[in-house]
Amino acid sequence: MKIDFDKLLAKEPGLTKKKLAQEMTNHGLFKSIRSGEMMIQYHQNGKAKGCDYALLKYLATRFKVKGSEIIQWN
């Protein structure tokens, strides 16, 4: 399973992976920015076997897309 964060970030110029990790930390998804950054790398590299529902829901709401547009199955 993979999430193409570059594609999501392209929807909002100026938004970086670090800023997104900060937003997710502030939203309560992660305890630290570093944890959010590592999760972004993990999902972007396709190493994840699953996806947290809260994360998927946050990304879908944040970027105004369907969950099926976020997740890419290998």
Alpha carbon distance 42, 36 (integer Å): 10
pLDDT > 80? residue 30: yes
pLDDT > 80? residue 13: yes
| pTM score, whole prediction | 0.86
**How far, rounded to the nearest angstrom, does the alpha carbon of residue 36 sit from its chain's CA centroid?**
8
pLDDT of residue 73: 75
Give the domain ranges of the chain. Answer: 2-72
pLDDT of residue 52: 84
Which DSSP string corresponds to 16-53? -HHHHHHHHHHHTS-SSHHHHHHHHHHHHTT--S---H
pLDDT digits (tens, 9 = 90+) for 45-61: 888 777 788 999 999 99
